[in-house]
Amino acid sequence: MSFWDSSALIPLLVREPASRLAAGLLRTHGAPAVWWGSPVECASALERRHRAGQLKYAEKRQSEQLLAQLADAWTEVQPGRVLRERALRLLSSHELRAADALQLAAALIWAQEQPPGRTFICLDERLREAARRNGFLVLPEGGAGL
């Protein structure tokens, strides 16, 4: 099992250059562990693409169904005081947006604060670097610029 950032989940839901790689990582690493807010972030990305004309209504509905199927299988790190405090500390040591700090805090809680040997799957370069600096093995190896 690996922790997946929302940026890595999206290619599982819509066809894009990283989709094949993301599907391979899912096969290799099994059901993801995710932050509690990941479904909201994914739904937001799907809605943005739909409004921009990049995703037809039927495609959006299919992507939403795929998201629901994934959510049935994944492990979700729940919100709470510990997660919030960890995210606040991460903001002071990394150049992260709020949601990214919450994602990384959730990953650290999932890893029981022992990230060496644990995998963090992410396509966002800033978050990838912060996860790497916290000791995670960050995939895909090619980085965010796939």
Q: Is residue 127 part of a domain?
A: yes
pLDDT in tens, 21-48: 999 999 999 999 999 999 999 999 999 9
Q: Please give the tally of structural domains in the chain.
A: 1
Residue 72 lies in a domain: yes
Residues 99, 90 contacting (CB under 8 angstroms): no
pTM here?
0.93
Residue 96 lies in a domain: yes
User: In this structure, what CATH number is given to the domain that contains residue 42?
Assistant: 3.40.50.1010
pLDDT tens for residues 45-80? 999 999 999 999 999 999 999 999 999 999 999 999
Nearest to 66 by CA among 100, 32, 105: 32
In a domain, 125, yes or no: yes
Any domain includes 146: no
Q: Residue 106 is part of which domain span?
A: 3-139
Output the CA–CA distances (angstroms, integers) from residue 35 to 17, 42, 99, 143, in the order listed. Answer: 24, 11, 10, 21
Asked whether residue 14 is assigned to any structural domain, the reply reads: yes
